Amino acid sequence: MSRNIGPTIEILLRRIRQEGGIALDPDLATQVYSHAEQITNTALQRVLVTDTLTVPKEKLLFSLRSEFSDAIDIVSFEKSNRHAIRVYSLDDFAAYEVGWFRSVAGTRFEAWMQLGRDLFILYPGQAAASSITITYTQLLTLYTSFAGSYTTASELPDEDVDIALALAELVLLVRYRLLTVVPKRLDRAIELLRQRGARI
């Protein structure tokens, strides 16, 4: 069960008020916190979506945004209980075939690579149109209205809400130049991320 947005924002507002006596606009706090949720989910890959990618004949390069508008990062590709291997450089495809970028007669997918947040390569291109199961990290909803999202449940798992809260607090402390407390809060945010398995 996830926490509701409203009570979480109220915690954030209290923390900022205690540190600097600042009465913060709840809508601004909601927006900053919502961005912090997106960052947390991107780092920890908690909210995942599994979908089917239809792969046209002979195609290797895809637009992630065009195929899945709510995707941030690809986690895996799978077909018939077999995972394609993730590679991290274009040179890695050469281990399969020197002219990999011209390989369009495949019968099964071997490897994939995400290029930034917009493109991905699925190797090799297939001799016939096919499909493959993709799992990706989902872009969470961006909330901007405190009153409008008060009773809305956070999309993050309950145990990760504290991380988003810590990140939002850091942003707001810097915004209002309450810099003396930032190092301590930053250490706490980093420790929370490490406890949850983020690579820092």
pLDDT digits (tens, 9 = 90+) for 86-97: 999 999 999 999
How many C-beta atoms lie closer than 10 Å to residue 128's C-beta? 11
Question: Does 63 reside within a domain?
Answer: yes
Last residue of a domain, one of 138, 159, 182: 138
Q: Both 95 and 81 in a single domain?
A: yes
Residue 17 confidence (pLDDT)? 85
Q: Both 36 and 69 in a single domain?
A: no
Question: Does 35 reside within a domain?
Answer: yes
Q: Which of 11-20, 100-109, 161-170 has the lowest mean pLDDT?
A: 11-20
Residue 21 confidence (pLDDT)? 72
Q: Both 55 and 82 in a single domain?
A: yes
Query: What's the pLDDT band for 179 if we cut at 50, 70, 90?
Result: confident
- The rounded distance, in Å, linking the Cα atoms of 110 and 112 is 7
Average pLDDT, the chain: 92
Q: Residues 175-198: what's their mean pLDDT?
A: 85
Question: Does 168 reside within a domain?
Answer: yes
Q: Which residue type occupies 69?
A: S
Residue 36 confidence (pLDDT)? 96
Q: Say yes or no to pLDDT of 153 above 80.
A: yes
Q: Supply the range of the domain harboring residue 149.
A: 5-45+141-195
Question: How many domains does the chain fold into?
Answer: 2
- The rounded distance, in Å, linking the Cα atoms of 199 and 44 is 9
Question: Does 60 reside within a domain?
Answer: yes
Q: What is the pLDDT of residues 23-68, one digit of tens each?
A: 789 999 999 999 999 999 999 999 999 999 999 999 999 999 999 9
Q: Both 62 and 18 in a single domain?
A: no
Question: Does 115 reside within a domain?
Answer: yes
Query: What's the pLDDT band for 193 if we cut at 50, 70, 90?
Result: confident
Q: Both 54 and 35 in a single domain?
A: no
Question: Does 200 reside within a domain?
Answer: no
Torsion of CA 41, 43, 46, 50, to 10 degrees: 90
Q: Both 114 and 165 in a single domain?
A: no
Last residue of a domain, one of 96, 121, 138: 138
Question: Does 104 reside within a domain?
Answer: yes
Q: Both 94 and 156 in a single domain?
A: no
Parallel, antiparallel, or unpaired for β 130-138 and 119-123? unpaired
Last residue of a domain, one of 138, 156, 173: 138
195 Cβ partners below 8 Å, 6+ apart? none
Q: Considering the entire predicted model, what is its pTM?
A: 0.87
Which of 138, 54, 123 has the alpha carbon at shortest distance from 84? 123
Q: Both 17 and 73 in a single domain?
A: no
- Do the Cβ atoms of 136 and 71 come closer than 8 Å? yes
Question: Does 148 reside within a domain?
Answer: yes
